[in-house]
Homo-oligomer: A and B are copies of this chain.
Amino acid sequence: MSEVAGRLAVQEGAHYLGRAYGGRGILLSGVPGVPHGNVAILGAGTVGLNAAKAALGLGADVSLLDVNLDRLRHADDVFSGRVITIASNAFNIEQAVRRADLLVGGVLVAGARAPRLVSEALVQRMKPGAVIVDVAVDQGGCVETIRPTTLLEPVYTLHGVLHYGVTNMPALVPRTSTYALTNATLPYALDLARKGPVRAVRESAELARGVNLWRGRVVYPAVAAAVGEKPLPLDDLR
C-alpha cells in the first residue's frame, strides 16, 4: 500500500497546485522556457521512492532527503542520478522545504510515531500556495501542522499552504489497491481453504503470527498481557 500512497501523493499534490484549488498555480513539468516545479520528499523508503518516481515522471525537479546514506545511494542508482539526494538534517530540511512547491512527507517508522521533521514555524516560511501531502498522517505526520482529512474533504489551508492529510490514500484507487492487496493475501486464503485452518496455521509461521485465540487460549502476547493470562506459545500450535 506504500507504493500506491507514494505515487498518489504526487498525483494529488500536482492537482492541488492548480490555482482553482488554492495552490500556487504551477505545472510541475514547466514547459520549454519556464522552469520545472520543485518537489521535496522526506524519506527515501518505499513511499519516498514511489513518490520520486511519479514526480520525475511528471517532469518535476525532485529533492529526496533521508538520514540513511545507503538509501540515497540506492535512489541515485535507480533514478540514474536524476533526483537530487540530500542528507537529511535540520539545515538541509529547511532549505529543501522553503524551495518546495510540493512537499511529500514519507517518513514512517513501523509501529511508532512519525518523527516531526517540519515545524509550524517552517511551514509559515514555505512559498504561498505550496502543497503538503503527508503520507505519515496516520502515525501523527512528519509535518507539525498536518491533521487527518477525508477523501471527500481532502485539503485545508493553513499559513497559506495547502495541507492534504487523507489517512487512507489507497482507498482513492480501490480497483488498483484491491488487486495489490489480494496479490499479497490470496496465497494465505488459498492455504486456509485447502488445508483447513488447523493445518494451515500449524504449517505457516506467517498465519500463526496472526492468531489471537486458539481453542480457548489467548495466543497473541499483547492481548494475553492485557487480560492477565499467560499466552499460549506459538510453537505449541504445531
- CB pair B32–A53 under 8 Å, yes or no, is no
Check B73–A32 contact: CB distance below 8 A: yes
Residues of B within 8 A of A7 (CB): 27, 29, 31, 59
Q: Is A232 an interface residue (CB 8 A)?
A: no
**Interface footprint category on A:** 35 or more
Interface centre among A11, A12, A67, A177 (most CB of B within 10 A): A11
Residue A58 lies at the interface, judged by CB distance under 8 Å to chain B: yes
- A227 in contact (CB, < 8 A): no
Which chain B residues border A15 with CB–CB below 8 Å?
11-12, 15
Among A109-117, A182-190, A198-206, which stretch is in contact with chain B?
A182-190
Q: Given A61-B84, A186-B89 in contact, is the A31-B152 Cβ separation under 8 Å?
A: no
With A57-B56, A183-B69 as given contacts, are A26 and B173 in contact (CB-CB < 8 Å)? Answer: yes
Is A226 an interface residue, CB under 8 A from the partner? no
Further pairs besides A3-B31, A27-B173, A69-B183: 11, Cβ < 8 Å: A11-B27, A19-B151, A19-B171, A19-B175, A25-B173, A25-B175, A30-B85, A32-B76, A33-B179, A54-B58, A57-B57
